[in-house]
Amino acid sequence: MAIYWVAGFYLKGSNPREAKSGKAAYQPLTIARKSKIGYNKGTTAYFLADAEGNTWIMKGYQLGMNPAYSLAKYNANRESHFRRLPTGWKIRTKVLDQDLILVPENGIAPITTDENLCAYDKTGPLYRDYKP
Protein backbone atom coordinates (compact mmCIF):
# COMPACT_ATOMS: atom_id res chain seq x y z
CA MET A 1 0.00 0.00 0.00
CA ALA A 2 1.35 3.43 -0.95
CA ILE A 3 1.02 6.39 1.41
CA TYR A 4 0.98 9.87 -0.06
CA TRP A 5 1.91 13.01 1.86
CA VAL A 6 -0.47 15.84 1.12
CA ALA A 7 0.01 18.48 3.81
CA GLY A 8 0.59 18.93 7.47
CA PHE A 9 -0.48 21.84 9.63
CA TYR A 10 -1.32 22.78 13.18
CA LEU A 11 -4.10 25.28 13.75
CA LYS A 12 -3.61 27.83 16.49
CA GLY A 13 -5.46 26.58 19.52
CA SER A 14 -6.27 23.31 17.80
CA ASN A 15 -6.32 20.98 20.74
CA PRO A 16 -9.57 18.97 20.55
CA ARG A 17 -11.57 21.20 22.94
CA GLU A 18 -10.43 24.46 21.33
CA ALA A 19 -10.91 23.07 17.80
CA LYS A 20 -14.48 22.11 18.67
CA SER A 21 -15.08 25.64 19.97
CA GLY A 22 -13.99 27.11 16.62
CA LYS A 23 -11.32 29.40 18.14
CA ALA A 24 -9.06 28.90 15.10
CA ALA A 25 -11.89 29.59 12.63
CA TYR A 26 -11.55 32.21 9.91
CA GLN A 27 -7.85 32.77 10.60
CA PRO A 28 -5.92 32.31 7.36
CA LEU A 29 -2.63 30.47 7.57
CA THR A 30 -0.23 28.84 5.17
CA ILE A 31 0.86 25.23 4.90
CA ALA A 32 3.59 23.49 2.96
CA ARG A 33 1.94 21.60 0.10
CA LYS A 34 2.99 20.69 -3.41
CA SER A 35 -0.07 18.68 -4.39
CA LYS A 36 -2.78 19.92 -6.74
CA ILE A 37 -6.46 20.10 -5.85
CA GLY A 38 -8.99 20.13 -8.66
CA TYR A 39 -12.69 20.89 -9.03
CA ASN A 40 -14.51 19.99 -12.25
CA LYS A 41 -16.59 22.36 -14.32
CA GLY A 42 -20.25 21.86 -13.36
CA THR A 43 -19.40 21.04 -9.72
CA THR A 44 -21.34 22.87 -7.03
CA ALA A 45 -18.66 24.50 -4.87
CA TYR A 46 -18.95 26.14 -1.46
CA PHE A 47 -17.17 29.42 -0.81
CA LEU A 48 -16.23 31.88 1.86
CA ALA A 49 -15.39 35.45 0.89
CA ASP A 50 -13.35 37.36 3.45
CA ALA A 51 -13.52 41.08 4.24
CA GLU A 52 -10.50 41.76 1.96
CA GLY A 53 -12.24 40.21 -1.07
CA ASN A 54 -10.37 36.88 -1.06
CA THR A 55 -12.31 33.80 -2.11
CA TRP A 56 -11.89 30.49 -0.26
CA ILE A 57 -13.23 27.20 -1.66
CA MET A 58 -14.29 24.36 0.65
CA LYS A 59 -12.04 21.34 0.30
CA GLY A 60 -13.07 19.42 3.39
CA TYR A 61 -16.50 19.04 4.97
CA GLN A 62 -16.38 18.07 8.65
CA LEU A 63 -19.00 15.77 10.13
CA GLY A 64 -17.27 15.57 13.51
CA MET A 65 -17.05 12.74 15.99
CA ASN A 66 -20.79 12.72 16.67
CA PRO A 67 -22.43 13.92 13.45
CA ALA A 68 -25.56 15.97 14.08
CA TYR A 69 -26.36 16.42 10.40
CA SER A 70 -25.49 14.98 7.01
CA LEU A 71 -24.10 16.96 4.07
CA ALA A 72 -27.64 16.99 2.60
CA LYS A 73 -29.03 18.57 5.80
CA TYR A 74 -26.10 21.00 5.91
CA ASN A 75 -26.86 22.06 2.32
CA ALA A 76 -30.57 22.47 3.02
CA ASN A 77 -29.94 25.26 5.53
CA ARG A 78 -26.27 26.15 5.17
CA GLU A 79 -26.56 29.72 6.45
CA SER A 80 -27.79 28.54 9.86
CA HIS A 81 -24.45 26.80 10.49
CA PHE A 82 -22.53 30.10 10.38
CA ARG A 83 -23.21 31.87 13.66
CA ARG A 84 -19.76 33.44 14.12
CA LEU A 85 -18.94 34.60 10.60
CA PRO A 86 -16.64 37.63 11.00
CA THR A 87 -17.82 41.07 9.93
CA GLY A 88 -17.47 41.45 6.17
CA TRP A 89 -17.27 37.70 5.48
CA LYS A 90 -19.89 35.97 3.33
CA ILE A 91 -20.80 32.44 2.28
CA ARG A 92 -22.05 31.35 -1.13
CA THR A 93 -22.32 28.42 -3.49
CA LYS A 94 -21.65 28.38 -7.21
CA VAL A 95 -21.72 25.87 -10.02
CA LEU A 96 -18.25 26.23 -11.54
CA ASP A 97 -18.27 27.47 -15.13
CA GLN A 98 -14.76 26.10 -15.75
CA ASP A 99 -12.36 23.61 -14.16
CA LEU A 100 -10.54 24.98 -11.13
CA ILE A 101 -7.10 23.51 -10.49
CA LEU A 102 -5.27 24.86 -7.44
CA VAL A 103 -1.49 24.48 -7.62
CA PRO A 104 0.36 26.27 -4.80
CA GLU A 105 3.23 28.50 -5.90
CA ASN A 106 6.52 27.64 -4.22
CA GLY A 107 4.87 24.80 -2.29
CA ILE A 108 2.93 27.17 0.00
CA ALA A 109 -0.88 26.97 0.22
CA PRO A 110 -3.08 29.53 2.02
CA ILE A 111 -5.91 27.81 3.91
CA THR A 112 -8.52 28.55 6.57
CA THR A 113 -11.28 26.79 8.48
CA ASP A 114 -14.79 27.83 9.43
CA GLU A 115 -16.48 27.45 12.81
CA ASN A 116 -17.76 24.03 11.72
CA LEU A 117 -14.15 22.85 11.17
CA CYS A 118 -14.62 22.66 7.39
CA ALA A 119 -11.37 23.41 5.52
CA TYR A 120 -10.95 25.90 2.66
CA ASP A 121 -8.22 26.76 0.14
CA LYS A 122 -7.71 30.30 -1.14
CA THR A 123 -8.41 30.82 -4.85
CA GLY A 124 -6.94 33.43 -7.19
CA PRO A 125 -3.39 34.78 -6.73
CA LEU A 126 -0.84 32.23 -5.46
CA TYR A 127 -2.77 29.52 -7.30
CA ARG A 128 -4.00 30.71 -10.69
CA ASP A 129 -6.00 33.56 -12.18
CA TYR A 130 -9.45 31.95 -12.05
CA LYS A 131 -11.27 33.25 -8.99
CA PRO A 132 -14.82 31.88 -8.98
Q: What is the pLDDT of residues 38-95, one digit of tens each?
A: 889 999 999 999 999 999 999 887 766 556 777 777 778 788 888 889 999 999 999 9
> Reduced to 3 states, what is the DSSP secondary structure of residue 120?
strand
Please spell the DSSP secondary structure of 26-55, one letter per residue.
T--EEEE----EEE-TT-EEEEEE-TTS-E
Domain ranges in the chain are 16-122
> Reduced to 3 states, what is the DSSP secondary structure of residue 58?
strand
pTM higher than 0.85: no
Residue 9 has pLDDT above 60, yes or no: no
